[in-house]
Amino acid sequence: MPARYVDAVEDLLLAWSAGHGRDLPWRTLRDPYAILVSEVMSQQTQVERVVPRWQRWLERWPTVEALAAAPAADVIREWQGLGYNRRALALHRAAQQIVAHGWPNDLTDLPGVGRYTADAVACFALGRGVLPVDVNVRRVCERTGGSFSAAAAQALMDLGKTVCLARIPRCGACPLASGCPARGRRFEPVRRQGPFEGSFRQRRATALRAVVAGTEPQDAEAVASLARDGLVRVDGEAVSLPE
């Protein structure tokens, strides 16, 4: 694909983004800690739910040093309602590692940080020229056949989230539709995770809520699973949050 054509496609995308991009509070920041919190919270959680929780988190622990010094129990309590509670402990451990050793060059060395999250922090906070590829970015790139720079990362995420939808893309609203080989296509539904209701995930969440509330959880299997993940401590019959 000629370089001038690639540049023109990216220009179209960026022009669209200027008027249609999502207004997310962390997008005005370059603090790697704040960006890391936003990315970890946004894993498997709708961004609309993340925004107020991210703001509250940063009010309570505004720096990586503040989070590292916090008791693990407080971190778990603050995370309640976001789901996948292991993310809270991983974020806490990452903060402690950063305080002890500094930000690593390879951010995947941090607990709970995979390739996408590492690239997102590198791109949005550290100014590195790497394109973080989440499910929305991958979808747009695969359908358009385009090659985009790191400067288009947020625009690609927004386009994939709001226009280039998984099953029935809104091609009529897409700034890239005129040259898109997938224009007008419909796609098979993506396999989704099983329902939360009645699942073991729900049992774990119920047991952890009981511990947070100071009551005795009744599900021994769920408690054992939480203990293996370090989310609770079991001392005989007593179950408590980690210190």
Catalytic residues: 39
Q: What is the DSSP string of 47-110?
A: HHHHHHHHHHHHHH--SHHHHHHS-HHHHHHHHTTSS-THHHHHHHHHHHHHHHH---SSGGGS
Structure tokens at 90: 């991983």
Cα dihedral sign, 24-30-33-36: positive
49 and 80 in contact (C-beta within 8 Å)?
Answer: no
**Contact partners, residue 230, CB within 8 Å, separation at least 6:** 72, 89, 242
Burial class (CB in 10 A: 0-12, 13-18, 19+), 121: buried
